[in-house]
Chains A and B, each alone.
Chain A
Amino acid sequence: MSRAGTILRVDLATEKVEKEATSAYVQDFVGGGAIGAKLIWDGVPPDVSGKDPKNMLTFNTGPLTGTLFGNKCEVMAKSPQLANSPVMTAGLGGQFASEMKFAGYDHLAITGKADEPVYLFINDENVEIRDAKHLWGLDTQQTQVRIKEELKDPDVQIACIGLAGENQNVYAMILHDIQNTASREGFGAVMGSKNLKAVAVRGTKGLKAGDPEACKDLWNEFFSEIKEGRGSLFARLSFREGIAAHIGDYGKFRDRGAWGYYESFVAPPMKKEETMADFVTKYKVHNVGCSFCPIQCQQNYNMPGVDTGGGACMFYEGYRYLVKSHDTTLWWRASAKAQRYGIEVNSIANITGWLMLLYEKGLITVEDTDGVPMEWGSEEAVMTVIDKVSKAEGFGKLFVDGAVPAAKVIAGGKGLGLLNQDRNRLSGAWHVGMGSRRTVMLGGPGASRLTRWANQTVFMHPMHTDMEGIIPWYARELGISNEESEKLIQGWASEWTEKQVGDRDAWRPESVRKKGAYLAASENAISACDISGHCDFLSDRGPHFGAQRVGVEETVQWISATTGTLCTKDMLLDAVQRKRLLEIAYNQLCDLSRAEEEVSYVKALDPVPDGYHKGDAIDLERSVEPGAEYCSRRGCDPATGLPLREELERLGLGDVAIRLGPLLAGPAPEAPSPQSAT
């Protein structure tokens, strides 16, 4: 019932539009990213590169999307950010995904390349490929304004690219509304490579609730939890101060001099006007967020004379710590510009910081950066990098395919080893151990949430950054000391890991015991959100935010109530398992040798030479035991990271076993039946 019922397939080259029933996939895959993984598994050969017209860009909503319990879609495609183009995902919220459902579509799969710039207009049953030559060159905000004017409908919801996507920069994002983005994985470049400027959706059909009474009761429970229950702590934090305003101001970043690229420099104490709290107080217009979510966790800012726009979490960290600037005006100018160009803020901050490091070390001069000195904290440098990279002009052209290809050329390749020096949540934009066989096993390749989660879980030291950042805030809110707050949050973390894996200490960075099981359980919780359409920020995905209590158990109740068809925990977890094994298998079929080649450039395995993080290292040995345990939980072979044949067969994924063929250990596969030989 709360499923829209249709998968929409559009080939931009042939302008062919096909509609297919979602129902065939629902039993095994439930929805969202799991069906997305299946669409790509079935429809895209693994040797296709991210920017190839054959790549399939999919928008995957879940059964909860468009209801009171969810609003997201998972954008999935082969990512051009890594040399071997693995399948990756990025969440996109706002109003877009709900509108897709209201128009009648659970999934949207776009292949092919249009001859000239186009945009897709989905208006309930009518699907139209429209000319976008007049939109090419417009920024992400102008594009949306023009399309709404042209369609004479201010309520059409649009996901689009800016200049960075048009120029196919691999850090280009897809942007919707003011600040809702599918920012990671370079999906903006995938749109650009298809000559697809935007997808505009208008839906008027709504979704019938399967069991309206159950929906009302469950909603009341959920709302009470985030309004008054334990979950209200994080909800209040998000609503009042913004999802991440606290991250830059508190915790490890501020106190311990995580600054630039981890040399011994310690950040000076912040003045009041340099804090995010101050920025938010002065320039927040109001909260913004996603459809049907009470916690509008993102923020709409207006800094008069500088720029307007929205923000979620990253820019505070990116610009403060990677380019060494405490100037909130500079962050905002840069971040708002990046949003307009449609380039991911943290990636571009990373590129800027890396160039500044090379400049400081004398490895590059102004000649390498079109006459602009790359001095730490320089506004001219920051804005030049955003401009040149997004427009693919001058030295910016070198970054079209990402940091690693650029670093092979710039400074004669001497800067390669200086990439990937960060090892906490800033790792988002780089690829720590990217795409290697090991990370295919552990959480997936690249900069996806699951990868970051895996890296943080297995390698991070000391305590989880987010958790650390949240301690003083909870202390202030509850009127308790930092020590008490830390104990409280640790208690919640222990409660969660005990329930999930039977070990109260599994979340602790120093603990290796049950770490792999903990990782698998966290991944299940996050993936359950990716599949259902519920937002993982409002879920109990481990101790990430401590207070949240909504997990897989609640998600299946919601799915049952909204769809009117029973969904059990086992069904959802099997769908998670199918999604993960499809991704793992698919990415093993992508050319891993190319990814391994990239890893060899990464020097992040060396211990940090000095400063607070002295001695910290990404110790691959540390991942051996958790890796093996994770594999056994995930149904994979610890030696190869490949899915086990019996697990694939249990899940009805015999075709996967056949395609993996010789890579798989165990008895030889039987002759393929006509149905399974896809």
Chain B
Amino acid sequence: MKRIVLDPAKCTGCRVCEAVCSLTNEGEFNPVKSRIRVVRTVENSILYSTPVFCLQCEEAYCQAVCPADAISWRREGLLLVDEDKCIGCKLCEIACPVGAITVNPEKRVAIKCNLCGELGEPQCVKYCYAEALQFLPAARVGISKARAKAEKFLEMQRREA
């Protein structure tokens, strides 16, 4: 099982992920219909940005709260919305702890990350130039995060060696 891993410090706020996601899933260039959203804010002339996307919660509130039983596990690590079952009630949007599920204003059904299932790799990850997003086997995430965070300590050791 693979999942999307984020390094927020690397995000430049370029929003390529939004455009690629909406193109792949909706045939549009439209942030509103993107399953990944980049939150940007400028404070005292400094830009802060981070992408927000579905983390595929193990115990998913969106699934729990859905009155139409429209959200279900496709396989381990991938929760999907069944557009035919979705009634557009938006309860999932309220329940989601990260703000990663919303309702397509045109089709009026819930949309969330589907990991670009058929393509084998989420397109937002594939085209993230800054490599803020990665698609990693779940078992490797821990060590890969640890590696990144440990770099400072490794650097100290290198200097001493």
Mark A residues whose CB is within 8 Å of B. Answer: 2, 66-68, 95, 102, 141, 144-145, 154-155, 177-178, 204-209, 212, 215-216, 219, 223, 226-227, 239, 285-289, 291-296, 300, 302, 307-310, 336, 562
Is there an interface contact between B12 and A292, defined as CB atoms closer than 8 Å? no
Set of chain B residues within 8 Å of A308, measured between Cβ atoms: 44-46
Please list 13 pairs of residues, one from A and one from B, whose beta carbons are closer than 8 Å in the complex, sorted by A's number: A141-B42, A141-B45, A155-B40, A206-B28, A206-B30, A208-B27, A209-B27, A216-B23, A227-B129, A286-B12, A286-B47, A295-B129, A296-B13
Set of chain A residues within 8 Å of B54, measured between Cβ atoms: none
A507 nearest CB across to chain B (Å):
30
Which residues from 37 to 96 on chain B have a C-beta closer than 8 Å to any C-beta of chain A? Answer: 40-42, 44-47
Of the residues B19, B42, B45, contact of A68 by C-beta under 8 Å: B19
Q: Is B22 an interface residue (CB 8 A)?
A: yes
Set of chain A residues within 8 Å of B32, measured between Cβ atoms: 102, 204-206
- Chain B: which residue is nearest A99 at the CB level? B31
B153 nearest CB across to chain A (Å):
21
- Chain A: which residue is nearest B123 at the CB level? A216
Set of chain A residues within 8 Å of B16, measured between Cβ atoms: 68, 292-294
B13 nearest CB across to chain A (Å):
7
Total A-B Cβ pairs within 8 A? 105
Is there an interface contact between B47 and A206, defined as CB atoms closer than 8 Å? no
Given A95-B40, A288-B12, A295-B129: 8 more A-B contacts, CB < 8 Å: A68-B20, A145-B42, A207-B30, A223-B127, A226-B129, A227-B129, A287-B130, A294-B16
Is there an interface contact between A209 and B29, defined as CB atoms closer than 8 Å? yes
Q: Which of A154, A204, A209, A295 has the most CB of B within 10 A?
A: A209
- Chain A: which residue is nearest B41 at the CB level? A154
Is there an interface contact between A291 and B28, defined as CB atoms closer than 8 Å? no
Is there an interface contact between A288 and B22, defined as CB atoms closer than 8 Å? no
B31 nearest CB across to chain A (Å):
7
Q: Is B33 an interface residue (CB 8 A)?
A: yes
Set of chain A residues within 8 Å of B41, measured between Cβ atoms: 154
Is there an interface contact between A288 and B29, defined as CB atoms closer than 8 Å? no
A68 and B23 in contact, given A292-B15, A292-B16, A308-B44 (Cβ under 8 angstroms): yes
Alpha-carbon separation in the docked complex, A68 to B127 (Å):
11
Is there an interface contact between A144 and B42, defined as CB atoms closer than 8 Å? yes
A208 and B46 in contact, given A292-B14, A293-B14, A294-B127 (Cβ under 8 angstroms): no
Q: Is B24 an interface residue (CB 8 A)?
A: yes
Set of chain A residues within 8 Å of B22, measured between Cβ atoms: 206
B112 nearest CB across to chain A (Å):
18
Alpha-carbon separation in the docked complex, A207 to B31 (Å):
10
Q: Is the interface of A mostly helix, strand, loop or mixed?
A: mixed
Alpha-carbon separation in the docked complex, A154 to B37 (Å):
14
Alpha-carbon separation in the docked complex, A215 to B30 (Å):
14
A288 and B45 in contact, given A102-B31, A212-B23 (Cβ under 8 angstroms): no
B134 nearest CB across to chain A (Å):
15
Set of chain A residues within 8 Å of B28, measured between Cβ atoms: 206-209, 212
Q: Is the interface of B mostly helix, strand, loop or mixed?
A: mixed
Set of chain A residues within 8 Å of B105, measured between Cβ atoms: 204
Is there an interface contact between A215 and B23, defined as CB atoms closer than 8 Å? yes
Set of chain B residues within 8 Å of A178, measured between Cβ atoms: 42, 45-47
Of the residues B15, B45, B46, contact of A291 by C-beta under 8 Å: B15
Of the residues B20, B27, B47, contact of A219 by C-beta under 8 Å: B20
Alpha-carbon separation in the docked complex, A310 to B42 (Å):
11
Is there an interface contact between B45 and A206, defined as CB atoms closer than 8 Å? no
B92 nearest CB across to chain A (Å):
20
Is there an interface contact between A300 and B47, defined as CB atoms closer than 8 Å? yes
Is there an interface contact between B46 and A285, defined as CB atoms closer than 8 Å? yes
Which residues from 112 to 141 on chain B have a C-beta closer than 8 Å to any C-beta of chain A? Answer: 127, 129-130
- Chain A: which residue is nearest B129 at the CB level? A294
The 4 closest A-B pairs by CB, nearest first: A206-B30, A294-B129, A212-B27, A308-B45
Is there an interface contact between A288 and B13, defined as CB atoms closer than 8 Å? yes
Is there an interface contact between A216 and B12, defined as CB atoms closer than 8 Å? no
- Chain A: which residue is nearest B119 at the CB level? A216
A103 nearest CB across to chain B (Å):
12
- Chain A: which residue is nearest B22 at the CB level? A206
Alpha-carbon separation in the docked complex, A289 to B12 (Å):
8
Is there an interface contact between B129 and A239, defined as CB atoms closer than 8 Å? yes
Set of chain B residues within 8 Å of A141, measured between Cβ atoms: 42, 44-45
- Chain B: which residue is nearest A208 at the CB level? B28
Is there an interface contact between A310 and B27, defined as CB atoms closer than 8 Å? no
Is there an interface contact between B47 and A291, defined as CB atoms closer than 8 Å? no
Set of chain A residues within 8 Å of B14, measured between Cβ atoms: 289, 291-294, 296
Set of chain A residues within 8 Å of B129, measured between Cβ atoms: 223, 226-227, 239, 294-295
Set of chain B residues within 8 Å of A307, measured between Cβ atoms: 45
Q: Which of B19, B20, B22, B31 has the most CB of A within 10 A?
A: B19
Set of chain A residues within 8 Å of B15, measured between Cβ atoms: 95, 291-292
A175 nearest CB across to chain B (Å):
11
Set of chain B residues within 8 Å of A309, measured between Cβ atoms: 45
Set of chain B residues within 8 Å of A209, measured between Cβ atoms: 23, 27-29
Alpha-carbon separation in the docked complex, A586 to B45 (Å):
39
Set of chain A residues within 8 Å of B20, measured between Cβ atoms: 68, 219
Is there an interface contact between B19 and A296, defined as CB atoms closer than 8 Å? no
Of the residues A154, A204, A205, A300, contact of B46 by C-beta under 8 Å: A300
Alpha-carbon separation in the docked complex, A289 to B49 (Å):
12
Alpha-carbon separation in the docked complex, A207 to B18 (Å):
13
Alpha-carbon separation in the docked complex, A145 to B47 (Å):
13
Alpha-carbon separation in the docked complex, A95 to B19 (Å):
13
Alpha-carbon separation in the docked complex, A296 to B16 (Å):
11
Is there an interface contact between A206 and B42, defined as CB atoms closer than 8 Å? no
Is there an interface contact between B23 and A206, defined as CB atoms closer than 8 Å? no
Alpha-carbon separation in the docked complex, A288 to B32 (Å):
22
Alpha-carbon separation in the docked complex, A302 to B42 (Å):
13
B46 nearest CB across to chain A (Å):
5
Alpha-carbon separation in the docked complex, A144 to B22 (Å):
28
Set of chain B residues within 8 Å of A223, measured between Cβ atoms: 127, 129
- Chain A: which residue is nearest B14 at the CB level? A296
Is there an interface contact between A67 and B29, defined as CB atoms closer than 8 Å? yes
Alpha-carbon separation in the docked complex, A309 to B44 (Å):
8
Set of chain B residues within 8 Å of A204, measured between Cβ atoms: 32, 105
Alpha-carbon separation in the docked complex, A215 to B42 (Å):
31
Is there an interface contact between B46 and A206, defined as CB atoms closer than 8 Å? no
Q: Which of A66, A68, A154, A562 has the most CB of B within 10 A?
A: A68
Is there an interface contact between B42 and A177, defined as CB atoms closer than 8 Å? yes
Is there an interface contact between A296 and B27, defined as CB atoms closer than 8 Å? no
Is there an interface contact between A206 and B29, defined as CB atoms closer than 8 Å? yes
- Chain B: which residue is nearest A155 at the CB level? B40
Set of chain A residues within 8 Å of B42, measured between Cβ atoms: 141, 144-145, 177-178
